[in-house]
């Protein structure tokens, strides 16, 4: 177990949704974690599992998916700083599959750690609950998107959410992101066919709203993408502003040094 290695981006994520004191955040520096690299399409969890740990995304993308005899349905996408299976801290039952969408680095954090710091800090306990509620709100919003928006708006909305989630932890500041999808994966997430997904990407590219080159997506016209998606990020419960700087400025200097050294080790 490596202590503190996964601290930085998780702290970024928590501070993006709730105000925490330096003392609260310093509790995370002793977070135990085993860290592993996974290739794409690797099952981190499968339906029926009852894990005793949560998965923190350090790099790459994870998704929850449901597979039946003829289709694969992606129900949510998770980025750096997210803990997609945080609900297993409250109830360990897993009802879908948690899968890597891309090569990913994942920290496994024991449920016991969440219990310990929740007992030490009511603010951290509230932060975990808000993070869980934010994921539930995102799922409700995506249900509305699938039921009421056309294919172009669905794709635009998903891209807006991914970019906004990344910006909340200090990434994608230039609106350039590693693509979380193949076009068939994009189709699975948006409830459309791969052919239709390809057509939508071509349309967004022809309009110079984005460029999709190899494994990189560059948003050229963020405002137009937001307009097409009718994207309102309120459901993500972000506090606004430069959340990474907000978090960095609130930390004790000793914690900042630990974060910097551990972040450098990841790259």
Pairing relation of β-strands 53-59 and 104-110?
antiparallel
What integer pLDDT is reported at residue 69 of this predicted model?
55
- Number of continuous H segments (helices) and E segments (strands) in the chain: 11, 11
Token representation of residue 139: 């799922």
Tokens standing for residue 103: 């090569």
Look at residue 4 in the predicted model and tell me its pLDDT: 45
Q: In the chain, where does DSSP find H-type helix?
A: 7-15, 22-26, 87-90, 111-120, 122-148, 151-168, 183-190, 194-206, 222-229, 243-250, 253-266
Residues 6+ apart with CB under 8 A from 213: none
Low-confidence ranges of the chain (pLDDT < 50): 1-5, 241-267
Please give the pLDDT value at position 256.
38
Q: Which residue, 199, 148, 149, 158, is CA-closest to 181?
A: 158
100: phi > 0 → left, psi -120 to 50 → alpha, else beta; which?
Answer: beta
Q: What are the domain boundaries of the chain?
A: 2-266
d(CA 166, CA 180): 12
Among 73, 129, 70, CA closest to 96: 73
Tell me the pLDDT tens digit for each residue of 173-202: 899 999 988 888 899 999 999 999 999 999
Domain 2-266 CATH class label: mainly beta
Q: Which residues pair with 37 in a beta bridge?
A: 105
pLDDT for 240: 67
Name the percent of the chain lying above pLDDT 70.
87
Q: What is the pLDDT of residues 92-116, one digit of tens each?
A: 999 999 999 999 999 999 999 999 9
CA neighbor of 106 nearest in space, from 180, 38, 4, 181: 38
């Amino acid at each position: 177990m490596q202590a503190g290695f996964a601290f930085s981006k998780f702290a970024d994520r928590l501070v993006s949704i709730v105000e925490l004191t330096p003392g609260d955040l310093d509790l995370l520096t002793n977070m135990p974690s085993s860290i592993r690299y996974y290739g794409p399409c690797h099952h981190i969890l499968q339906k029926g599992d009852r894990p005793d740990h949560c998965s923190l995304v350090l790099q790459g993308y994870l998704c929850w998916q449901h597979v039946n005899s003829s289709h694969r349905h992606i129900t949510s996408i998770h980025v750096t700083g997210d803990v997609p299976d945080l609900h297993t801290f409250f109830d360990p039952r897993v009802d879908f599959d948690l899968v890597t969408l891309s090569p990913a680095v994942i920290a496994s954090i024991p449920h016991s750690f969440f219990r310990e710091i929740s007992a030490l800090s009511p603010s951290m306990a509230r932060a975990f609950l808000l993070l869980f509620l934010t994921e539930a709100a995102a799922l409700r919003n995506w249900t509305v998107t699938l039921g009421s928006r056309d294919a172009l708006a669905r794709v635009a909305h998903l891209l807006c959410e991914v970019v906004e989630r990344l910006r909340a932890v200090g990434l994608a500041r230039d609106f350039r992101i590693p693509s979380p999808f193949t076009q068939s994966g994009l189709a699975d997430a948006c409830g459309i066919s791969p052919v239709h997904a390809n057509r939508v990407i071509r349309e967004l590219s022809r309009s110079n709203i984005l460029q999709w080159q190899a494994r990189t997506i560059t948003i050229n016209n963020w405002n137009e993408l937001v307009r097409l998606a009718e994207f309102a990020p309120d459901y993500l419960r972000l506090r606004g502003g430069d959340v990474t700087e907000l978090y960095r400025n609130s930390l004790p200097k000793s914690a900042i040094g630990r974060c910097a050294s551990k972040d450098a080790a990841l790259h």
